[in-house]
Amino acid sequence: MRGGIVETGLTSGTFYIHGIDGHSYHVNKRSKGGRLSLRCLNYGNRLTCRARANMDRDGRNFVPGRKHRHNHPKSRNFVHERRFRTRLLNQCRQLDCAQYSLKQLYFKVKREMREYMHLPRLALVNVPYVKLRQSMQLARGHILPRIPHTLSDLAHILEDPDYEFLTKTLDKEDSTFLGKCGQSASGTRCLIFASKRHLRYLSTKKYDVMSDATFSSVPGAIGAAQIWTIIHLRRHHATPLVRVLMQTKLQECYEEALRAIRAVIPDFAPETVMCDFESAQANAWQTVFPLIRVTGCFFHSSKAIAGKAKKLHLLQYIQQSEVIDSIVRSCCALALLPLAKMWDGLRVLVRRAVEEGVWDILSPLFVYIRNTWYSASRLPMFCVFGAIDRTNNACESSNATLRAAVRHKHPNIWCFLNALIDLEDITEDDICVLNCGRAPNRARGRTVLMNDETIRGLQEDVQRETITIDFFLRQASRRIEGVYNIALDLL
């Protein structure tokens, strides 16, 4: 007679036998003759089934008992159910799977078992997620601490040597967690993520940096307002080097993070930083690094001006009049002028509007530009003359890469930490490629290169007064039609 199937039990070192009769058994005792006496798996639960069976020690010659019958139906899928449960709980205990929520992990393993092991559907529906959730939580708790709900709690976990594996780089040579700074009571708590090798990379060079923040990738229920990224753009390739989980968007919070970074790498002294036009961020850079030049993003300023024109109901005039279209587009190009000529540029456009008889229509837009972009503190940021990179699109690209790495909005903290480990390794690979003189990404498009060359030529001519400011604005405005049309929904 055929034997039973010996399967691993739920507890380490245990096993059970699934007999040919469709029932499962535990070993009760070993007889003198060498055969195994088996007792129904449901003997100790509420069913108290007293059915027995026996088989040889090598698993052959399975014989069901005759004295007591089973008081429950056969479970042909019991082995499949146990295999699914075992595989699922083992996955919960693996750090590589911490990026998945418990429900995502349940459906991931369910799909794998159906696809590769061809488990019957009935076996899987008998163990629904709600039935396994508590066991999955306990299994995950064997390797991971409780999910923290504040930045201070997270810092306490990451500083614990028992959990250093949470931030170890892929090659195990470094850590992605630098430390904490600030105080929760004052809203300045920050957690800084940067490997020591990336900080050394920052400290050995004098170059420009970019910074930007995003909210969608912030871990859920962690008490953080945003994640702030500091990027170095090398040969038009973004290398994110520092990421900071910030409690608030206060200027003091930015300052705490920058001072903490400078304390670790005193040689960190960027000459220029490009960021968005958030006052708190710009002022923090200027406060911590008094000699730094803070510039804004040309894309954002152009989009804001064109968007304001739309809000002022100028779109119909722009579509009907080439003169108004040219003047509004030229307003977006003001930031390309040298700083010393920017007031002259605004006066040229005002004069053109008056001479063309459209001042009454465009005066609200000029008032907005004067009050918003030409203030004493904003004008130097507004000007991007001579900048190698006029936009912080590299930051947007870095934020998009982070969103793709965490897979969904506001991930759990373990998914977020895993994403930082992966991205740190990618950045290290990119730095190695750049050091070899190669480009880690595709070459810039011909249209982009030609556009940059045209703008540089126009800027050189207007600086030397080879061309007039009016001519410069008319020509340069044609080079920014893409963002202009996007802001006005003209595409």
- pLDDT means per 10 residues, the chain with 491 residues, are 69 77 84 82 81 82 84 81 87 79 87 84 84 87 86 95 90 93 95 94 77 92 93 83 95 96 90 89 94 90 92 93 94 94 96 95 96 92 87 86 89 89 92 83 73 89 94 91 81 58
Structure token pair of residue 29:
């005792």
Q: Which residues of 406-430 are buried (b: 16+ CB within 10 A; e: fewer)?
A: beeeebbbbbbbbbbbebbbbbbeb
CB 176 within 8 A of CB 424: yes
Nearest-CA neighbor of 15 among 131, 52, 24, 139?
A: 24
Residue-level pLDDT at 5: 77
Residue-level pLDDT at 153: 95
Name, in order, each residue with C-beta under 8 angstroms of 83's C-beta and a sequence gap of 6 or more. 7, 113, 117, 119
Query: Helix 78-92 vs helix 129-140: angle between axes, to the nearest 10 degrees?
Result: 40
Q: How far apart are CA 112 and CA 107, in angstroms?
A: 9
Residue-level pLDDT at 1: 45
187 Ramachandran zone, left/alpha/beta (phi>0; psi -120 to 50): left
Residue-level pLDDT at 257: 96
Query: Helix 469-477 vs helix 446-463: angle between axes, to the nearest 10 degrees?
Result: 170
AA letter at 147: I
Read off the pTM. 0.76
Nearest-CA neighbor of 78 among 116, 33, 41, 52?
A: 41
CB 84 within 8 A of CB 113: yes
CB 197 within 8 A of CB 264: no
Residue-level pLDDT at 122: 79
Residue-level pLDDT at 78: 82
Q: How far apart are CA 50 and CA 37, in angstroms?
A: 13
In terms of C-beta density within 10 A (0-12 exposed, 13-18 middle, 19 or more buried), how is residue 122 classed?
exposed
